[in-house]
Amino acid sequence: MSVSHKLAFLLSSNKKIDRRHQSENEVQGLGSSSSQLRVEEEDDDDDDSEEGKSAQFLSFLHLYSLLTSLTFGLHHPKQLRTVVSTANDQPSSALVIDGKLIADEIRFRIAEQVRRMKDSVGKVPGLAVILVGDRRDSLTYVRNKVKACEDAGIKSLVTQFPQDCKQDDVIHALSTFNEDPSIHGILVQLPLPQHLDEGKILNVLKLEKDVDGFHPLNMGNLAMRGRDPLFIPCTPKGCIELLIRSSVEIMGKNAVVIGRSNIVGLPISLLLQRHHATVTIVHAFTKNPEQIAREADIVVTAAGVPNLVRGNWLKPGAAVIDVGTFPVEDPSCENGYRLIGDVCYEEASKVASAITPVPGGVGPMTIAMLLSNTLDSAKRAYDFT
């Protein structure tokens, strides 16, 4: 069976996958969609009890940060080389990149800067979220984002509309946030109900507040040398942050990105190129993905195909970032499911030099980067450095 057939087969027959999270985009384009990412955000919600203890945790992090700053020198990326854990109790020769801990560290730093901003200019960053309907998953993600904002001292506003609301009402709310000087980032929680024109609504969003960074002008500025986007999309920004903080060299390395969605694969490939990697983008039409992946020093996979990347797809010593997340039925877990990624972790962790687990790898970085983008936007607004 060819790999293309295998992908099609995996996409069509893997009955373990909860398909409610799988969008048309993924199937058509081997591209990760926002829905995938959301699953892991949802998983964050499973840790709600932990997030509820964020104050204590931040205190721990403060202590951790203080200790590492004394031992290794503050902000030295190599200090996070020490952040090693063995995920899922699987034997692993690879450095396991602990996204949760790195994200918490970043969120701690953001909270610190927000406090400094408040002391200095008397303002804090503000994030507005527009939520339409009462999809359980959307409610969860929005709750997580609001909580993360609270933990960091960022003001958050949520405007919720009923499922059958009018488009003009949503646009009016967006326009109000556009004009509100205390709001520095605006999110429209997707997907919207089908009767609303997503493109039209998103076009209203002020570029300076597009903290998701999905506007084509942002993407063009990300792609072009000598230009800088206002915002880098959150998940791709998180992936690069994980590589950098894990001391994975990017410049001059061969990187393969699996999947070419607008929100993950494309911007990750552009970012890796900005860091001077030699980037190849693998997608549904690629005939020899495993052969191409085997040439890579860095593999970032956002394919939307569970367990796609096997151990024999990897060059020994490659760094592996797994953006995929899929709920798989598992009665032994509290919620009746557990999460797996695009990468066959058990095999890959024996070949790779560094790898992100699922959950606890890329997922937690998405919200951290959303906070980071909102803070950056506020800094620009208040000319605060």
Which positions lie near a copy of itself, rule CB under 8 A? 29, 31, 215-227, 251-252, 254, 260-262, 266, 270, 273, 276-283, 285-288, 292
| Phi, psi angles (nearest 5°) of residue 126 | -130, 135
Distance between CA atoms of residues 85 and 181, nearest Å: 43
**Quick one: 222 or 323, whose CB is closer to a copy of itself?**
222
Among this protein's residues, is 47 annotated catalytic?
no
Question: Are the C-beta atoms of residues 31 and 259 closer than 8 Å to each other?
Answer: yes
Give the nearest distance from C-beta 331 to a copy of itself in angstroms: 38
- Is 189 designated active site? yes
Closest CA to 77 of 245, 237, 250: 245
E strand or H helix at 173: helix 167-179
Minimum distance, C-beta of residue 288 to a copy of itself, in the bound complex (Å): 8
For the four alpha carbons of 178, 179, 180 and 184, in that order, the dihedral sign comes to: positive
Q: CB neighbours (10 Å) of residue 89?
A: 6
Catalytic residue among 44, 189, 210, 376: 189
Torsional class of 252: left (φ above 0), alpha (ψ -120 to 50), beta (otherwise): left
Active-site position among 98, 113, 145, 322: 145
Assigned token pair, 95: 């450095």
CB of 222 to a copy of itself, least distance (A): 8
- Judged by beta carbon, residue 1 or residue 251, the one nearer a copy of itself is 251
Catalytic residue among 151, 210, 212, 342: 212
Token pair in block for residue 148: 């993360």
* Smallest separation (angstroms) from a copy of itself to the CB of 3: 12
Transcribe 343-370 into DSSP letters: B-HHHHTTT-SEE--SSSSSHHHHHHHH
215/237 with CB nearer a copy of itself: 215
Phi, psi (rounded to 5 degrees) for 279: -105, 135
Tell me if residue 28 is catalytic.
Answer: no
Nearer to a copy of itself, 136 or 225 (CB): 225
Q: Which is nearer to a copy of itself, 73 or 252 (CB)?
A: 252
The DSSP call for residue 333 is S
Q: Tell me which DSSP letter residue 320 carries.
A: E
**What is the nearest approach in angstroms of a copy of itself to the Cβ of residue 284?**
8
Count of alpha carbons within 13 angstroms of residue 143, beta-carbon side: 16
| Catalytic residue numbers, as ranges | 145, 189, 212
